[in-house]
């Protein structure tokens, strides 16, 4: 009765509360908080002294300090490790691209299913089962701890990944352009180099970025195969974990330094990363 | 002079023609040789070592011992079988939560909304973060005395939990960490699948009066089944082989009571902490057979689903 009279009185009709929209907004907020809050906590702790980290009253209100970053770059010599990580990931990515992009083209155009399977096996096999024989061979050659071996092992992470992404990229590229170029007098390889390759640069970028990230993040191969002077960041982070105690502030600063470059790259190349991670997965 | 130059051109053209005719293998061979050297040789070598008593130094001589290692490992109820159980628990737990939450978040993100970019960046961050650093980060958050997790629980009057420090809860806590880091991966794959779906079936169901839940359960999810299977296979393979977060939070041997020692951690410990290469190789071969077996079962199911 009352609602009816209100409507008649010319008041705006009461709209139903938009529960679906509201629920969705709550859900999305929860998603963002869940995924970002722990990272924010790590960042926050990296600006705290160890005394403040142990003080629960200073959870959010504390006097920020750069001491931890001082330790990381000074005592812990992180400048060198950042360079090692960058060098290894970069060289491994470039070499893998040179090897894998033509191979992916060949496997896509000539449908070499069985050969592709062998390479994709590399994604399935547990890394430890490769490390034992590698360690056997490389320690005989006294190469354990060298950049060469480290780069070789990272290429093993990068190459199958690049091959996988580029194969699904070439699969989706029409062949007509290459054929037209060959009619116009280019050799098949010329058509690949001058037509197909320039056109597939977005795919190459995707594969390259992901390969760099995976090589940068790789821990197990570096743990066994790196030496004191070739140590990469994921291994160096353990310098802050002692037998008796942990330097939490330094550890968090080190963790920030490992992850921050990758996250900055991810922010700027978001589209590429997403297309690379989902490559081939939706073909069924 | 000109004749030499002419000869050069001829040779160049000949080579060029040869290379072009065989480009299939010229392109593929370098990558395949690289992989063969670094993959096939190690697999064969691991298989060989699994039948020997190689241990100690990599230069030490060793003997062929037949199936002795297999017997030792398969009857080992102290380290091997518990490790199999933990691997299954970790992978199964992580997969269930990651697939359910991954699909749920993908559905939340499916239709366009304000602030879409921000949410997409937020779910990408855990995915690209260095796993070892992620392990260290959660190690601080789950620290029983100073960590944020127990502080958070205390706001709701829930007593402090031991998290990673107790053998009873450590593995489950690590399942949570894995779910945190890799659910976005499932979300991204499912989202790509959702965007590729045809709109007609959904529309038809809507016209027929199906509600939101019915359309999701009877139309969208069945159409999405191949994508979900792909996500399960990809994530499952990686979850089985998880190493970084386990090692970063619990160290060698999966903690003092081996409470998070999965097959991968066990094989690593046998190889590089105990230097028992023969036995480690046996564990690895068995582990590898289990992975292949699981993939085979999944692909059979996929084939059955396609029919």
B252-307 per-position pLDDT tens digit? 888 889 999 999 999 999 999 999 999 999 999 999 999 988 888 877 877 776 66
Question: Do A56 and A113 sit in the same domain of this protein?
Answer: no
Question: Do B147 and B207 sit in the same domain of this protein?
Answer: yes
- The answer to whether position B62 is within a domain reads no
pLDDT for the residue numbered B142:
95
Question: Do A104 and A201 sit in the same domain of this protein?
Answer: yes
pLDDT for the residue numbered B99:
96
Residues B130-188 pLDDT 10s = 999 999 999 999 999 888 999 899 999 999 999 999 999 999 999 999 999 999 999 99
- The answer to whether position B191 is within a domain reads yes
Cβ A39–B129 below 8 Å, yes or no? Answer: yes
Tell me, what DSSP letter sits at residue B114? Answer: T
- The answer to whether position B59 is within a domain reads no
**Which of B24, B97, B133, B183 should be substituted to probe chain A, the one whose Cβ sees the most A Cβ atoms within 10 Å?**
B133
B122 and chain A in contact, CB less than 8 A: yes
Domain range for A22:
15-67
Domain range for B96:
77-306
Instruction: Kindly state the average pLDDT of the residues B233-250.
Output: 93
Question: Do B40 and B175 sit in the same domain of this protein?
Answer: no
Question: Do A29 and A155 sit in the same domain of this protein?
Answer: no
B118 and chain A in contact, CB less than 8 A: yes
3-state SS, chain A, equals CHHHHHHHCCCCCCCCCCHHHHHHHHHHHHHHHHHHHHHHHHHHHCCCCHHHHCCHHHCCCCCCCCHHHHHHHCCCCHHHHHHHHHHHHHHHHHHHHHHHHHHHHHHHHCCCHHHHHHHHHHHHCCHHHHHHHHHHHHHHCCCCECHHHHHHHHHHHHHHHHHHHHHHHHHCCCCHHHHHHHHCCCCHHHHHHHHHHHHCHHHHHHHHHHHHHHHHHCCHHHHHHECCCCCCHHHHHHHHECCCCECHHHHHHHHHHHHHHHHHHHHHCHHHHHHHHCCCCCCC
Report how many Cβ contacts below 8 Å link chain A to chain B.
273
pLDDT at B21 over 90: no
- The answer to whether position B55 is within a domain reads no
Residue A189 CA to residue A185 CA, distance in Å, equals 11
Nearest by CB to residue A53, choosing from B124, B138, B146, is B146
How far are the Cα atoms of B50, B95, B191, B285 from residue B289, in angstroms, in the given order?
Answer: 13, 20, 32, 6
Residues B71-126 pLDDT 10s = 999 999 999 999 999 999 999 999 999 999 999 999 999 888 888 888 999 999 99
* CA A106 centroid distance within chain: 26
Question: Do A45 and A176 sit in the same domain of this protein?
Answer: no
Residues A207-245 pLDDT 10s = 999 999 999 999 999 999 999 899 999 999 998 988 778
Question: Do B112 and B253 sit in the same domain of this protein?
Answer: yes
pLDDT for the residue numbered A6:
45
| Domains held by chain A: number | 2
DSSP string of B194-209, one letter each residue? HHHS-SHHHHHHHHTT
B288 and chain A in contact, CB less than 8 A: yes
B227 interaction partners in chain A (CB closer than 8 Å): 281-282, 284
pLDDT for the residue numbered A11:
53
Last residue of a domain, one of B49, B66, B88: B49
* CA B229 centroid distance within chain: 14
- The answer to whether position A10 is within a domain reads no
Listed in sequence order, the residues at least 6 apart from A157 whose beta carbon sits closer than 8 Å to its beta carbon are: A92, A211, A214, A215, A218, A221
Question: Do A80 and A43 sit in the same domain of this protein?
Answer: no
Cα-Cα end-to-end distance for chain A: 57
pLDDT for the residue numbered A142:
87
Last residue of a domain, one of A25, A49, A67: A67
| Domains held by chain B: number | 2
A118 interaction partners in chain B (CB closer than 8 Å): 32, 35-36, 39-40
Question: Do B139 and B238 sit in the same domain of this protein?
Answer: yes
CB A103 within 8 A of CB A163: yes
CB A192 within 8 A of CB A178: yes
Q: Which residues of chain A have pLDDT under 70?
A: 1-14, 119-120, 280-284
- The answer to whether position A89 is within a domain reads yes
User: What CATH number did the domain enclosing A185 receive?
Assistant: 1.10.3720.10
Residue B254 CA to residue A240 CA, distance in Å, equals 19
- The answer to whether position A9 is within a domain reads no
Nearest by CB to residue B122, choosing from A32, A127, A133, is A32
- The answer to whether position A171 is within a domain reads yes
Question: Do B131 and B182 sit in the same domain of this protein?
Answer: yes
Distance from CA of A1 to the nearest CA of B (A): 31
Q: State the number of CA atoms in the 13 A half-sphere of A153 facing the CB.
A: 31
pLDDT for the residue numbered A282:
60
pLDDT at B48 over 60: yes
Question: Do A34 and A120 sit in the same domain of this protein?
Answer: no
């Amino acid at each position: 009765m009352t609602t009816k009279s209100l409507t008649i009185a010319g008041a705006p009709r009461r709209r139903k509360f938009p529960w679906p929209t509201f629920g969705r907004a709550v859900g999305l907020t929860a998603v963002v908080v869940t995924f970002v809050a722990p990272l924010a906590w790590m960042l926050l702790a990296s600006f705290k002294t160890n005394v403040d980290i142990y003080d629960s009253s200073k959870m959010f209100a504390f006097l920020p300090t750069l001491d931890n970053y001082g330790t990381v770059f000074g005592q812990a010599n992180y400048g060198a490790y950042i360079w090692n990580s960058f060098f290894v990931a970069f060289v491994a990515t470039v070499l893998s691209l040179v090897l894998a992009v033509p191979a992916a083209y060949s496997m896509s155009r000539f449908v070499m299913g069985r050969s592709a399977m062998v390479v994709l096996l590399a994604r399935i096999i547990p890394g430890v089962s490769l490390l034992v024989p590698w360690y056997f061979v490389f320690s005989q050659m006294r190469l354990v701890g060298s950049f060469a071996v480290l780069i070789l092992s990272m290429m093993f992470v990068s190459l199958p990944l690049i091959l996988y992404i580029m194969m699904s990229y070439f699969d989706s590229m029409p062949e007509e352009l290459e054929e037209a170029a060959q009619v116009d007098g280019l050799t098949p390889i010329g058509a690949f180099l001058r037509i197909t390759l320039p056109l597939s640069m977005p795919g190459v970028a995707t594969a390259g970025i992901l390969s760099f990230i995976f090589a940068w993040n790789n821990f197990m191969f570096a743990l066994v195969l790196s030496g004191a002077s070739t140590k990469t960041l994921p291994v160096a982070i353990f310098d802050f974990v002692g037998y008796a105690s942990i330097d939490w502030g330094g550890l968090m600063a080190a963790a920030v330094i490992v992850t921050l470059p990758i996250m900055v790259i991810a922010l700027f190349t978001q589209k590429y990363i997403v297309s690379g991670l989902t490559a081939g997965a939706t073909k069924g | 002079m000109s004749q030499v130059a002419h000869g050069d051109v001829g040779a160049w053209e000949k080579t060029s023609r040869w290379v072009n005719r065989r480009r299939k293998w010229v392109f593929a061979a370098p990558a395949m040789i690289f992989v063969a050297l670094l993959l096939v040789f190690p697999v064969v070598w691991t298989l060989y070592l699994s039948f020997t008593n190689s241990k100690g130094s990599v230069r030490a001589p060793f003997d062929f011992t037949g199936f002795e290692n297999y017997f030792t490992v398969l009857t080992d109820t102290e380290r091997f079988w518990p490790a199999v159980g933990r691997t299954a628990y970790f992978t199964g737990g992580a997969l269930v939560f990651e697939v359910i939450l991954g699909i749920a978040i993908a559905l939340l993100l499916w239709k366009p909304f304000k602030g879409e970019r921000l949410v997409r960046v937020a779910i990408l961050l855990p995915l690209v973060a260095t796993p070892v650093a992620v392990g260290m980060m959660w190690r601080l958050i789950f620290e029983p005395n100073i960590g944020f997790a127990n502080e958070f629980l205390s706001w709701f009057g829930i007593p402090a939990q031991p998290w990673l420090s107790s053998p009873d809860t450590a593995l489950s806590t690590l399942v949570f960490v894995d779910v945190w880091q890799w659910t976005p991966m499932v979300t991204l794959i499912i989202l790509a699948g959702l965007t590729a779906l045809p709109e007609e079936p959904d529309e038809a169901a809507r016209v027929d009066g199906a509600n939101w839940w019915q359309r999701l359960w009877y139309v969208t999810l069945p159409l999405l089944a191949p994508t979900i299977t792909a996500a399960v296979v990809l994530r499952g393979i990686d979850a089985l082989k998880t190493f970084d977060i386990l090692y970063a939070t619990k160290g060698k041997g999966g903690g003092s009571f081996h409470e998070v020692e999965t097959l991968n951690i066990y094989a690593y410990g046998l190889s590089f902490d105990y230097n028992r290469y023969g036995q480690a190789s046996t564990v690895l071969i068995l582990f590898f057979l289990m992975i292949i077996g699981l993939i085979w079962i999944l692909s059979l199911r996929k084939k059955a689903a396609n029919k």
